[in-house]
Structure 1
């Protein structure tokens, strides 16, 4: 499965000067936040594949102009052909605006998802806007990472954590890829990043090991055939 992950800046090769070769073979698009709603709508139209997104700290405009045709995965798990994708957008709170959270508030969001995560028997990709604390974040409060993302990785060991928020120009020590101590591969998706996920990296749809969720999935899929 080929995933195109996006964050923070609108790539001219995908918008102003669209080249279909840039999205050739892409099965799924994931936005990690802080992207123009019209940009996401354009990409989902041109690729004709599902586009999943979480909100960044500069996405208040989505309240008035949400990216039509795209799927909001904040605070939920989205199953794409067996690939379980959990979304937790937003950044560390540094003023009173929206889509920002204290460490405690983000932890509360995670706790509310405990039942959903259990039902799906975990998740394979964690999609955030902010990074995990200590993994590519910066010292200033607006760009500090969340410690509770480290807990999620250690507890559930997803294959990937995709985030944005830390721009290449912010630091000469910009890190595109790194490994978490849990084994999770962390990827800063600033601008764009192409990710290949093999079938062996996630359970087949309806084969998660969760009796109730697999039963629901298999019944739902059978109904769609008729």
Structure 2
């Protein structure tokens, strides 16, 4: 399975009339935040592949369609008309995306858990403290346990905007990662964690790292990942 991951910028390789020629081979798309819905809608309408997204801490105009707290008191709920699937604070199984793990005898659905937002740095929308994020993650546990019983694993991909602490993050308040993400990765062992938020302006900054049993990938711009993973020998390891 080939998965296109995107975040944080309108990438000219993706936002292009040649997108179908360049990325028509992928099986699905994951959007890791700070992208306009117009851009996500363009990807969905041109590639026509299953597309999942979370929100970051910018480009939040459409957040009100998905979260009550982002709406004004007198503003009524309206459904946002889009072909993509919001994964924020959810555990999802895609039975249209079946794959076989090494050692398994039959294919099972792609298992995704999603989390929107960043650390709280100015009390804006879609920003959370460590304790708030811990509560958000705890709400995912029942469905993760069901995955473990049904499929023998909790999840395949942990899709977020923010990073774990000390994995690809920075030291300013906005770009610090969540410590609770580290704990979540260690316990639920996703094959991949896909995040955004950290812009790769410096070519020396890592895009891919290993942490515990998971591969952490920065989706900035665009990148393509594979399931199952074929070779991890060249991926640098980050430890606590």
The TM tier, using the shorter chain, reads 0.7 to 0.9
1:6: which partner in 2?
6
1:102: which partner in 2?
129
1:88: which partner in 2?
115
Structure 1: 5+ residue stretches without partners: 201-226
Q: Is the 8 A contact 1:132 1:150 kept in 2?
A: yes
Instruction: Provide TM-score, normalisation by structure 1.
Output: 0.83
Per the TM alignment, residue 59 of structure 1 is displaced from its structure 2 partner at its CA by: 3.0
Is residue 2:191 matched to residue 1:159?
A: yes
Instruction: Provide TM-score, normalisation by structure 2.
Output: 0.78
Per the TM alignment, residue 17 of structure 1 is displaced from its structure 2 partner at its CA by: 4.3
2:224: which partner in 1?
194
Which deviates further from its counterpart, 104-113 or 171-180? Answer: 171-180
Query: Hey, what's the Cα distance between the residues in 1 that align with 2:40 and 2:156?
Result: 23
Which deviates further from its counterpart, 20-29 or 83-92? Answer: 20-29
Q: Is the 8 A contact 1:161 1:185 kept in 2?
A: yes
2:207: which partner in 1?
176
SS at match of 1:154: helix
Per the TM alignment, residue 36 of structure 1 is displaced from its structure 2 partner at its CA by: 1.2
Which deviates further from its counterpart, 129-138 or 19-28? Answer: 19-28
Runs of 4+ in 1 over 4 A off after TM superposition: 64-67
Structure 2: 5+ residue stretches without partners: 66-79, 99-108, 149-153, 231-240
Which deviates further from its counterpart, 76-85 or 90-99? Answer: 76-85
Cα root mean square deviation, aligned:
1.8
Aligned length: 198
Structure with the higher helix share, 1 or 2: 1
Q: Is the 8 A contact 2:55 2:63 kept in 1?
A: no
Query: Hey, what's the Cα distance between the residues in 2 that align with 1:137 and 1:79?
Result: 29
SS at match of 1:87: strand
Query: Hey, what's the Cα distance between the residues in 1 that align with 2:177 and 2:84?
Result: 26
1:205-220 equivalence runs, <5 A: none
